Structure 1
Amino acid sequence: MNVETIGESVGRSSGEEDAPEVRPCPECGTAVTVHTRYVRWCPECEWNVDPGAPEPDRGRIETVRRRLARAHGEQLAAEIGRPGTGGGAGPAALDLSTVLAFGISALVHAVTVGLVVVAGLLIIGGWSTGIQPVLGALVLVIVATLLPRPTRLPKHAPVLYRADAPRLFELIDEVGAAVGTSGVHAVVVEPVANAAVTAYGFRNRRVMHLGLGLWEILSPQERVALLGHELGHFANGDIRSTRLTGEALHALQRWHHLLTPAALPSLVSWWRHASEQFLHLVTFLPRSTVYGVIHLLDGLTMRASQRAEYRADTGAARAGSTEAAAALMDRLLLCGSVEPHLRRESVAAQMRGGAEGRAARDAAEQGLWEGLRARTVSVPESEYERLRRVSVRRGHSVDDTHPPTHLRRRCLTSAGALPARVVCDASRTEAVAAELAPVRAELARLVIRDYAR
């Protein structure tokens, strides 16, 4: 679950007290309640509602993707919100765009296979010339960068299996059944404020990446909704997450990178300029062709990818209730401030040396996640409202494959209230917390000792 990182919402300093004051808006004069730890803004004229600088341009491909996302955004949200338009959970039906996307993806992989065949023919049948085996080996090196590779479990984060956390996996299994799929084989626990599901290994086993930075700021039912959303991706199927299309997009991006000439180091500026111009000229046609295919494949899959997010949100509502899923959307707006908060705690704990410093670090480790949770609970409703309005203003500027959070929340609340199919009561919450306790301690130690470096 990629999340919007808009605004700073968990507070600016761990030592500040939130003392609400009433002050006039500098623009319209409306009396505004100001919380000292949060952005001062006016809900009437929206003065200072989004003081953060816009994200820098991340390249031509990203710019086109976001333009496509904006084109689909509001239209798809309106369509999802209408009864009988396919907003529920369950596998998505194949449409013409999906069929064309699969066809283009197959063609991309066919080109890769063709290059392997050409390289083999050059190496086997060209020994008489001497140059052909060299060219064949060069083609194989290029193909090696394009071949799909199985994802591996990370080594930098704790990995839990069913024997390590049976109650957590039991909860995941129950949520999976509620959204129409099975559970996962492994759970990777990380300190980030995010969550995701993917596959790993040659056997394509399922793995869930669970970020404590997000998990710890959620209520028990919001956690169920989070699991429902992530497992909903398995139940619904996202065209970009398939091996066929996902690997084709990655291959095309690697092709584009290989065909984009890098700056050449040279002591003679005119020679460097001439070399770069020659490389640009030689690679212009294949580079433009690859870029066009990326653009086409993006256009064919963007709408399906965004629809998959809405359908996964329906899974969140079915598992945890519509109320919990909508609350989860609000919590996602806070995720951008979680990492700065953790970094501040790390810096503060390492400011002192000696025995006093060790004691400070130990205390920070023991109370890290509880402190994060307490600060999130204290976020006032005015700050949530500000972040919702920022989401409206920025739209798809944060991510291309995920609809803006405000549209997702609107679709959830307009679809009618669903009760929770999975209830995470106090006993289950405590049992899962006990299983995660060693991992929480390990990651707290990692955050406090390494984040500030």
Structure 2
Amino acid sequence: MSTVAGETVQACPECGTEIRLDGRFTMWCAACDWNVDPARPEETPGRLARARRAQARRHGERLLAELGAGGTLRARRDSSSLLAFAVALAVHGLTVALAVGGIWFLVRGWGGWGMVPGAFLLALGWSLRPRLPRLPKDTPVLRRADAPELFALVDEVAVVAGTRGVDAIAVDADFNASVMSYGLRGRRLLALGLPLWEILTPQQRIALLGHELGHYSNGDTRHTLVVATADRSLTTWHYFFQPIDDPEELEVFVNLLYFVPRWLVLGVLTLLDRLTLRASQRAEYLADRMAARAGSTRAALELTDCMLIADSAAVALQREVSSAALTGTSGTRKADARADGLWERLAADMASVPEHERERQRRAGALRGHSVDATHPPTHLRHACLLIATPTPPAVVADDDRDHRIAEELADARAKVARQILRDGF
């Protein structure tokens, strides 16, 4: 092995091919994939999460195979979606039954022992109640008056997606972006994770907006109000019935008491997952197609590649946190100064990742079945789905002046989130 001007040169121990790579990154062989994935990821914790990830991969592969055989992607409600809706209604029906039963016992047994089962049933009904999402309280939330240029860009992309824009934009510290409906009136919230937003090019950001807004027009059953609230209620119950670790004598009895309801809830959750997963996978592929339509196929492909370097971004941000702690800048003016350049340093770090490292991460991601979360198709399948489709030019083209104005509108939020990361870690 030798090193010349930052480049490491060695022969592959498997096939003998000469390897010339940037010494900052993992040495691997593109010819035979030697050392392509040296760090094995930890197993996904939780039986439910592992099952979801395995199912996501199977459905993602089947949908991609159908596309490769000449099939088409289109939003539709199938029999599984209708059954999922029925299961969700049954969950909500149980909530109503518990509440009605609790009220009945309270009225009939007022002042006596009947109040005990009444209060118990009402407590169960309250814990299972549908929970509507609310606006986050611990992150900056922008309204139209706060960021007119950003909202105008979102509106322009929404027209391409065949939907309307959003009512609020939350800016947080996640390496992700998402949309959801909140409140009784179903207002729309777009959550933008600055660690992701800041490393994207302007055209990739348009593709990101196209992907997220595409979820409102692609028939994703899992994101409908009835199914989403039922899933949230069941997840809460599953959490309540988790066994107590290192139980004492009485707690052993409680664990035994929880056994049957825990598995019943897990069974219904798994059923709901199975019924909605195919539609959810299709929705992700459709959202990627919308990303390509809004920002171009090239930008959408680059966006999927960016999701593979999430770990590299996390390492870069954690390095910033450690450096701030070592220099004693926490809580001082120096901390604010350091926060001011955080996003520029992160973007520069990620831009310096060479193509050979990005290719390694693509191959490692395919081996691992990397996905954004347990409900998304594996990233390499999303990449392949975009390649199958006819390449499209951007419907919305980035504009330097608009990008500058959007950056100014996000300045306060960028500073707040940067300080939060340096203070609390990433």
Q: TM-score, normalised by structure 2?
A: 0.93
Could you tell me which residue of structure 2 aligns to residue 299 of structure 1?
Answer: 274
Gap runs ≥5 in structure 1: 1-16
Aligned partner of 1:122 among 105, 113, 125: 105
Helix, strand or coil: the match of 1:234? Answer: coil
Deviation at 1:360, TM superposition (A): 5.2
Q: Deviations over 1:165-193 (max 9, x none)?
A: 10000000000000101110111111221
Paired with 1:160 and 1:174, the residues of 2 have a C-alpha distance of: 18
The one-letter amino acid of 2:235's match is Q
Counterpart mapping for 1:120-269 below 5 A: 120-127=103-110, 130-263=112-245, 266=248
Provide the C-alpha distance between the structure 2 equivalents of 1:113 and 1:404, rounded to a whole number of angstroms: 38
Distance 1:394 1:147, change over 3 A: same
With over 3 angstroms needed to count, the CA separation of the structure-2 counterparts of 1:254 and 1:121, relative to structure 1, is same
Whole-angstrom distance in 1 between the partners of 2:195 and 2:305: 15
Following superposition, the deviation at residue 400 of structure 1 comes to 2.5
Given the superposition, is the C-alpha separation of residues 241 and 369 from structure 1 closer, same or farther in structure 2, using an over 3 Å criterion?
same
Relative contact order higher in (CA < 8 Å, ≥ 6 apart): 1
CA distance in 2, matches of 1:367, 1:394: 34
Contact 1:65 1:298 (8 Å CA) reproduced: yes
Q: What is the CA-CA distance between 1:395 and the residue it aligns to?
A: 1.4
Relative to 1, partners in 2 of residues 1:352 and 1:18: Cα closer, same or farther, differing over 3 Å?
farther
Match status 1:348 vs 2:323? yes
Amino acid at match of 2:276: T
Check the 8 A contact 2:59/2:278 in 1, yes or no: yes
Q: CA RMSD in A?
A: 2.3
Deviation at 1:285, TM superposition (A): 3.7
Could you tell me whether the CA contact under 8 Å between 1:18 and 1:36 is conserved in 2?
Answer: no
Match among 29, 40, 44 for residue 42 of structure 1: 29
In 2, are the aligned partners of 1:225 and 1:324 still within 8 Å (CA)?
yes
Q: Secondary structure at the match of 2:216?
A: helix
**Residue deviations 1:267-316 (CA, integer Å, cap 9, x gap):** xxxx35xx62x445544443333222222211111111111100000110
Q: Could you tell me how far 1:26 is from its partner in structure 2?
A: 2.6
How much has 1:231 moved relative to structure 2? Answer: 0.4
Does structure 1 retain, via aligned residues, the 8 Å contact 2:21–2:356? no
Which amino acid letter does the alignment assign opposite residue 395 of structure 1? G
Number of aligned residues? 423
Aligned-partner Cα distance in 1 for 2:277–2:364: 23
SS at match of 2:42: coil
2:375 — aligned with what?
A: 401
Mapped pair 1:97 → 2:80: yes
CA distance 1:424–1:137, shift in 2 (3 Å) = same
Q: CA–CA distance in 1 between the matches of 2:49 and 2:388?
A: 31
* AA matched with 1:180: G
For 2:6, what is the secondary structure of its paired residue?
A: coil
Report the counterpart of residue 17 of structure 2 in structure 1: 30
Q: CA deviation at 1:265?
A: 5.0
Question: Partners of 1:162 and 1:284 in 2: how far apart?
Answer: 49
SS of residue matched to 1:23: strand
Of residues 372-381 and 76-85 in structure 1, the stretch that sits farther from structure 2 once superposed is 76-85
Instruction: Give the structure 2 partner of residue 62 of structure 1.
Output: 49
Q: Does 1:366 align with 2:366?
A: no
The 8 Å contact of residues 69 and 396 in structure 1, kept in 2 or not, is answered as no
Match of 2:298 in 1: 323
Deviation sequence 1:44-87 (CA, Å, 0-9, x none) = 22122112232234122222222322321211112234545225
For structure 2, the residue ranges without an aligned partner over 5 or more in a row are none
* More deviation, 254-263/239-248: 254-263
Q: How big is the shift at 1:146?
A: 1.2
| Offset, 1:374 | 1.1
The alignment partner of 2:31 has SS state of coil
Q: Which residue in the other structure is 1:7 paired with?
A: none
Distance 1:286 1:224, change over 3 A: same
The one-letter code sitting in structure 2 at the alignment partner of 1:338 is A
Deviates more, 1:424-433 or 1:443-452: 443-452
Residue 367 and residue 101 in structure 1: after superposition, are their counterparts in 2 closer, same or farther (change >3 A)? same
CA 1:82/1:173 → structure 2, altered by over 3 Å: closer, same or farther?
farther
Partner of 1:109: 92
Cα distance in structure 2, aligned partners of 1:318 and 1:412? 11
Which shows bigger deviation, 329-338 or 443-452?
443-452
Which residue number in structure 2 is paired with residue 444 of structure 1?
418
In structure 2, relative to structure 1, the CA distance for the partners of 1:397 and 1:422 (3 Å cut) is closer
User: Alpha-carbon deviation of 1:123?
Assistant: 0.5
After superposition, what is the alpha-carbon deviation per residue over 1:429-448, rounded to whole angstroms, capped at 9, x for unaligned? 11111211222222222223
The percent of aligned pairs where both chains have the same amino acid is: 49
Over 3 Å counting, the alpha-carbon distance change for 1:404 and 1:166 in structure 2 is same
Deviates more, 1:69-78 or 1:182-191: 69-78
When residues 204 and 257 of structure 1 are mapped into structure 2, their CA distance, relative to the original with a 3 A threshold, is: same
